[in-house]
Amino acid sequence: MKLLAINLEKKESRIEDVEEIGVVERGINNFIKKREVFLFGSGPLAFTLIPGTNRLVFVNYSDLWDGLFISTMGGASLPLTHSGLNLVELEGKAEKYTVVKISNFNNQTKVEFIKIDEKELENIFNRYGKFRGTYALQHYIFDKYAKEYLENDATFRIMVVGPAALKTKLGVLCSTLIEKGKFIDGLDSFAGRGAFGSTLVKKHNVVGIIYGGNLEIKPYDLKKLNDIFKKKFGDGMFQVINKKTVKYRYDENLKTGGTFGVNFSTLGTWFLSFNWNSIFFSEEDREKLYDLLKKYYLEKFNEEIIKQKNFRTCGEICPGVCKKYNPIKKKKRDYEPYEANGPNCGIFDLNFSEKLVEEIDTLGFDAIETGNMIAWIMDMLAKGVIKPEEFGLSKLPKFDYKNYNIEDSKNNAELGIEILDLILNNQIFSNGIKNAVEKLGEDAKNMIIYVPHGKGAITPNMYWMPAFILPIAIQGKFLVDYGKEFKIPYELGKSSTIRMIKELYSDNFGVCRFHRKWFEAVVEDLLKEILGIEIDVFKYSKELVNKIYSISPKAALWESEKAFDLIKTYLEKLYSEEKSSKELKKWVEKFEKDKFAAGKEYYKEILKGIQEVLE
């Protein structure tokens, strides 16, 4: 693979071939060699233009997690591919805030370093044209530096940070799709989890990257690809990919599609609300809240997007068309941001959660981490653990779920936006959950679910399942077995480790995980046919996972009582739905007797399962 190495201090760059065959492999090796670089790139299959193979992958140290982390951005490696590159590494720290410009026009690679004064950057974030925050900086860079790309008919992209990256540990990288020389406003992609926007600014002083080129890419021989797919699946490539991405496009059985539509349609009373407190509610109360969600959340989504067939891709030619996009409002809707900053924050009206999500994206926050923090702060305010006047907040949340009205969504969304400003400017919250619980004390700590990791921590994805708080090497993503069905903890540890190994197939080789159902089955055949590499991918990925464990802080037992409650209530709800399992009943009884003792045993059994697979 081709690597562009950039030294920010010396303002130098070079192109070299590297031995690694994947982005994650390169990132791990950087960690082992203690190289403090910022790495992003595409996998070795990107130049084939097979759907899903142009996902941009970031593998770096996360201050939030306190360890190696992986984040990805849909479609954003295409401009890198048109630059003839797989990988980019930024080394050292620029003297001032800097935009890095990478171009390859007619096989001439060029790197430029553009300084931005701190005051000028602040002014851009405050307002540039009709935009603020991440969107303002993207448009500013476009207006200043896109001309050369447009004149050379290049495919290019702009990645930026927002104010959150400058002031907190929760900042992401944002990039809006550019087509025919124009932004498709609302079709944004984020390298969110792990908060690499904060890493990029604090470690390297880089606030934006514009990159692209006009290298022509010819798709790989379709006949050879079809032969591989027919041998494995009995059908051609596009036919297989079409079948395997139904959830993300449109599910005829559910009459909806995308992560938003499918997840909210199928979760039922497993959905989360009011700072995860719904895990304590009665089934009847959860049913009432789910009726509210279906009417004011899901039906609006289906009406505005699904019925209008407003489906887009992230930029690749892909039959998955997973972006559920409202072209009038210029918004896309995904499950995680709209759960974390919707029902989780006591907001059941889609229009008001949209306002909160928009502000989060504008400021450049990780929507999941920040949504969990907002909901937690609301919960503390509602229970009197903290007072609004202590933190400059103007109101209390409407968090009485038994007397909740849909009109309360407005109050909670407005308070959520106030809390965003608090997180941005108050160091108790701006340094992440771990710091906040240490500052606020035991009562506060026991009201939020998080996974501790070294000096850091991360809050879970928005699913009421133990998988998302397991002590695995990288948490906060989907590197686990998050099926709803019961598994004894030992088996859950094993199956989640196997899942993590297989998820690295996608991340390491720069493939969108929405394509995992076909990619995992043919990855070895594709590597052999296209690159001439014969490799046992499971064994290879298992070695990568072992290396991540070797360079990571040791797993720690959950610190919050609510994490133990998550497992306890998950088991109880599952048992209420399927009373046939003796093992499930045994664990329910253990948690009813002593949830902390049962939780510690559950944790140890998970570790045994993890260790068996890895050893």
List per-block mean pLDDT (blocks of 10 residues) for the chain, which spans 615 residues.
97 96 97 95 94 95 96 94 97 97 96 97 97 98 97 97 98 96 92 95 98 95 95 94 91 92 95 98 97 95 91 85 86 94 98 97 97 98 96 96 96 98 96 95 97 95 96 94 94 97 96 93 96 96 96 91 98 90 95 98 97 94
Q: In the β-sheet with 87-91, what is the strand arrangement from edge to edge?
A: 12-17, 2-7, 87-91, 37-41, 56-62, 67-73
Apex 462 CA angle, 461 and 463, nearest 5: 100
In angstroms, the CA 109 to CA 102 distance is 7
In angstroms and rounded to an integer, the radius of gyration of the C-alpha atoms of the chain is: 23
The topology (CATH level 3) of 2-213 is Aldehyde Ferredoxin Oxidoreductase;  A, domain 1 (3.60.9)
What is the structure's pLDDT at 320? 87
Token pair of 251 as six digits = 């599910």
Phi, psi angles (nearest 5°) of residue 595 = -65, -30
Domain boundaries, the chain: 2-213, 245-464, 489-614
Is residue 176 classed exposed, middle or buried when 0-12, 13-18 and 19+ CB atoms within 10 A define those classes? buried
Query: Does domain 245-464 match CATH 3.20.20.70?
Result: no
CB 421 within 8 A of CB 391: no
What is the structure's pLDDT at 316? 85
pTM: 0.96
CB 366 within 8 A of CB 170: yes
DSSP secondary structure letters along 447-514: TS--EEETTEEEPPPS-SSGGGGS--SS-SSS-S---SS---HHHHHHHHHHHHHHHHHHHHTT--GG
What is the structure's pLDDT at 480? 95
Token pair of 85 as six digits = 């590159």
What is the structure's pLDDT at 379? 98
In angstroms, the CA 361 to CA 382 distance is 26
Residue 88, beta-bridge partner list: 4, 40
What is the structure's pLDDT at 376? 98
CB 497 within 8 A of CB 613: yes
